[in-house]
């Protein structure tokens, strides 16, 4: 296969890694339409960020650092400022992949971006895992792929018995659901392994499946 661009959707389960993810958890609401701006005359590295929330107004406004700037039928629009420090989206964009869409619910951040090839995706996911822990690929769509019945034969024998067990347990416990039914610690406990060992097995299995699905 010749790499021709891939649309990626992934999630990060770490409220502390993203202000809007933290807001979605604290307010028990869905956060969408996230936008960011860095004023040209700002010398202090501040970022102005806005988002739309479909509920949880009282909890959001009680924070004190977030102000409502617009109210409409689709939810209220809020704005806040933060320091220009590393965050999930900025980490992705360090790999020259602008984030196209951002949303959060129950503390889980979900974002969409476009990558030129599998190697770039793997590098981004690896870096996000190093910084934020629980990272899951939700969907991958190749450029020009329009046939929803397009299928790929996956050779499951490429996975070790332990990798299959880890994947099956994670699926059964809802690790890949949105929002999650279980986090990494809970799945690792069920498997009687450490969280780091769980992450290693999961990353290895995902890499093998990813390479097969994308024919690399």
- Asked if residue 196 and residue 97 are part of one domain, the reply reads no
Peptide bond into 179 cis (omega under 30): yes
Give the per-residue pLDDT at 148.
44
pLDDT tens, 114-147?
999 888 888 898 888 888 877 887 887 876 665 5
- The SS3 assignment for 32 reads strand
Query: In the β-sheet with 135-142, what is the strand arrangement from edge to edge?
Result: 67-72, 75-83, 46-53, 30-37, 99-105, 108-115, 6-12, 135-142
Token pair 């996956």 is found at: 154
User: Into how many domains does the chain fold?
Assistant: 2
Q: Answer whether residue 112 shows pLDDT above 90.
A: yes
Q: Is the domain of 124 the same as that of 184?
A: no
Residues 27 and 114 in one domain: yes
Per the structure, the complete domain to which residue 189 belongs is given by 156-213
Question: Quick one: pLDDT band at residue 215, thresholds 50, 70, 90?
Answer: low
Same domain, 121 and 202: no
State the pTM of this model: 0.66
Give the Cα separation of 73 and 121 in Å (integer): 37
Q: What is the mean pLDDT of the chain?
A: 83
Q: How does 17-40 read in b/e, with b if 16+ C-beta sit within 10 Å?
A: bbbbbbbbbebebbbbebebeeee
End residue of a domain, out of 114, 142, 170? 142
Is 96 in the same domain as 176? no
pLDDT, one tens digit per residue, over 19-66 is 888 889 889 899 999 998 876 665 667 889 999 998 888 889 888 889
Determine the straight-line distance between the first and last CA of the chain, rounded to whole angstroms: 7
For residue 149, pLDDT over 50 is answered with no
pLDDT at 182 over 80: yes
């Amino acid at each position: 296969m010749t790499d021709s661009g891939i649309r990626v959707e992934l999630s990060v389960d770490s409220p502390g890694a993203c202000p809007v993810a933290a807001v979605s958890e604290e307010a028990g609401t869905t956060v969408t339409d996230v936008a960011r701006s860095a004023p040209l005359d700002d010398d202090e590295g501040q970022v102005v960020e806005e988002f739309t929330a479909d509920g949880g107004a009282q909890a959001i406004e009680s924070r004190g650092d977030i102000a409502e700037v617009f109210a409409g039928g689709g939810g209220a629009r809020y704005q806040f400022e933060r320091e220009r420090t590393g965050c999930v989206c900025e980490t992705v964009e360090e790999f020259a992949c602008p984030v196209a869409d951002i949303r959060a619910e129950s503390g889980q951040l979900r974002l969409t971006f476009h990558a030129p090839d599998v190697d770039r995706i793997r590098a981004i996911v690896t870096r996000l895992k190093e910084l934020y822990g629980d990272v899951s690929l939700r969907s991958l769509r190749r450029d020009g792929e329009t046939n929803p019945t397009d299928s790929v034969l996956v050779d499951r024998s490429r996975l070790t018995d332990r990798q299959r067990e880890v994947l099956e347990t994670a699926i059964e416990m809802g690790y890949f659901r949105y929002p999650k039914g279980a986090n990494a610690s809970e799945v690792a406990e069920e498997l009687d392994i450490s969280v780091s060992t769980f992450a290693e097995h999961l990353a290895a299995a995902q890499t093998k499946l990813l390479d097969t699905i994308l024919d690399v």
